[in-house]
Amino acid sequence: MKKLVHNRTATAQHPNRNRLIIGRLLTLLAFGLFVGFAVRFAYIGLGGRVDSANLSTYREHQYATNTTLKAKRGAIFDRNGAVIAEDSSTYSVYAVLDHSYMNGKKKLYVTNKAHVAKVLAKYLPLSEARILEYLNPAKKAYQVEFGNAGKGLSLTVRNQIQAEHLTGVYFTDSPARLYPNGIFASHVVGLAQAQTSQQTTQLVGVMGLEKQFNSLLTGTNGFKSAQTDPYGYQLPASKTKVKPAVNGGTVTTTLDAGLQSYLETLMSSVQTKYAPKSMTAVLMNPKTGEILAASQRPTFDPSTKKGLGNMWRDALVEDVYEPGSVMKIFTLAAAIQTGTYQPNAYYHSGSVKVADRTIYDWQTSGWGSIPIGQAFPRSSNVGMVKIEQGMGGKNWATYLNKFGFAKRTDVTLPGEVAGTYDLKSPLNQAMTSFGQSIDVTVMQMMQGVTAVANRGPMVQPRIVKSVTTKNGKTVTYGRKVVGQPISKDTANQVVDAMRQVVNASYGTGMAYKMPGVDLAVKTGTAQIASPAGGYLTGDSNYIFSVMGMAPASNPKYVLYITMKQPQKMTKAAETIMASIFKPMMTRALALAGSGAAVPTTKTVAVPPVTGASASAASTSLKTAGLVAATVGTGNRIVQQLPAANTNALAGSRVLMLTNGAMTMPNVAGWAKSDVLKLAQLTGKKFSLQGDGYAVSQSVKTGALLGNGSVAVKFE
């Protein structure tokens, strides 16, 4: 019995011992886990990493907000600092409809669609009903836009809509290019358009100087990186990283804004009256090679793209053509220089047979037997063939090369072609003497004639005066002599022959005679090759041209005009082109004054007047030598054009928008560039008719500017 009791006692003690052991094990395990967690948390806290993930980086990514700081594209100026092209922005409006767009309890979506439609209808060319259709889409949408009517809005229109405090209505901005002068050397200055790449939209030059200097004009965007909460507020003790944007460089052209605008007016008048298929005109200072004005037709308005169509070519450098009798300037110069010119020798005019073809004078019966010296002023093809034959093909080829034909001038414009000629056959060789069977560009002709105007030195034409790089360094484009194909004596003889074209009774350029002006001219009438072979026939199927320089004794200007196939040829070609040549040359010589080789115009800095009272702003502008034009009925200025601290021509107009009702000013006497600024400032649509200065407007002075288009007529 005792043995049995002992076994029971021993068995009863085992559970207590087991519980003690298990308790101790659990305590040790809990302590071990605690130590493990503590070590882990210490590691994470001190090291900032979980496995391979960096918690600090993760937090930064979760709360980081990166903002692109947009750089401005550089401006393009005329020779005196007047703006030709500059950066601007357009805006698109959109509305958020999704009810999840909240900031805490604040609703950020459209809460009153009827009110939004009523307000937007005042600023967009859409009815309330149409806007409501956008705001009530057939399918559920997070946000909606308003088609083309809601795009391309001006800063003024955006500000007006924002002032209405419409819940759920927002804007996006897009870079845009402002061309305040409208049609103004459009193909030369070129065009920059917004292009999107990798979710970034920037302006890219696609023609003209905008394309040639795209890298220089394009700025470098910066960025701002900050840590923000879901509502956009910066987190406490967080750091902000900023890399400033670097704006693009600038280009200062050789163009003179006054002369360029006048040339555009003259060209438009001829285009309207006589409808030529194409025209070009270039005014150059031959001593420096600076192009002061350059234009072509067809052309376009870069601010609206009207007229652009498929005509993307700069005809001055990208189109080749047979120059006709203006080419005789170089034939005569080459013959004189080689010593083969015999002005007193006689030849029988009218026709001459070369190889198997007969070449005729423009007056097919000729003028009988006349001296070679009359061949140039009479523009005798037969006489020029005789001169070229006396010179010989080898000499002629040498001087075509010296004058730069079939070679690019390297003027700073994209797409320049070299042109061609072929002297292998006697017929082609003879025809090049009077400007057929040779393809040239306008710039080649301008470059070649500088050798005559400068009495020997041939100067490269240039359209750029200087550029300023992104880092502020200015690079000047100076005069560049590219050869001296002829001597001073030869050039003097050519100029005398060109004088005869205007002054001799048998000269072909009497239509260009300008009283009191020492003028040297050569006219041209080139046949146009037919697609079927040979040349087109008919009174208007020619490329008519004139090359003139003044004063002939010491030329300050060379003016070259071409006109192809006028469809309404109601007057002689010389009379038509003289309606451009004579007033343009008169204006240039008047601006040159008593001997200045290049016209200059004073520029002034535009003072800041935004925020000032209307009366104080007007006084400030007047003191600076500018003309103030107030838009609206308010008493304080909220916006101005041109912008503060930019350069403007002395006496030019500065437009000021007030805080009152937007009303129509009296634009009588305004230039087209001023009316275009008015359109930009007000965000209203303007229809401009004609050229010159404003003479009438469809909206009366003082009337409210509504949503309709305002028609302004210019003469």
Reference 117, options 105, 108, 126, 107; nearest CA is 126
Cβ neighbour number for residue 373 with a 10 Å cutoff: 17
Q: Return the amino acid letter for 376.
A: F
Directed axis angle between helix 113-120 and helix 128-135, to 10°? 130
- The size of the chain, in residues, is 715
- Nearest one of 580, 586, 584 to 563, comparing CA atoms: 580
Please give the distance of CA 560 from its chain centroid, rounded to a whole number: 23
Q: Which of 688, 286, 316 is nearest to 481 (CA)?
A: 286
Please give the Cα distance from 245 to 242 (Å, whole number). Answer: 9
Q: What burial letters (b/e) apply to 300-338, b meaning 16+ CB within 10 Å?
A: bbbbbeeebeebeebbbbbbbbbbbbbbbbbbbbbbbbb
Phi/psi-derived region of residue 502, left when phi > 0, alpha when psi is between -120 and 50, beta in every other case: alpha
Strand partners, 689: 713
Angle at 163 between CA 159 and CA 167, to 5 degrees: 110
Rg (the chain; Cα; Å): 38
CA distance 438 to 529: 12
Q: Are 705 and 662 in contact (CB under 8 A)?
A: yes
Structure tokens given for 347 = 């030849």
User: Which residues partner with 557 through β-bridges?
Assistant: 550
Residues 6+ apart with CB under 8 A from 546: 326, 509, 512, 521, 522, 523, 524, 559, 560, 561, 574, 577, 578, 581
Among residues 137, 134, 143, 139, the alpha carbon closest in space to that of 109 is found at 143
Q: With contact defined as beta carbons under 8 Å apart, do 281 and 295 qualify?
A: yes
Residue from 154, 325, 379, 545 carrying the catalytic annotation: 325
- Asked if 325 is an active-site residue, the reply is yes
> Are 403 and 458 in contact, with CB atoms under 8 Å apart?
yes
Q: Would the CA dihedral through 137, 141, 142, 144 be positive or negative? A: negative
SS3 82: coil
Asked if 399 and 334 count as a contact pair (C-beta separation under 8 A), the reply is yes
**Which residues are marked as active site?**
325
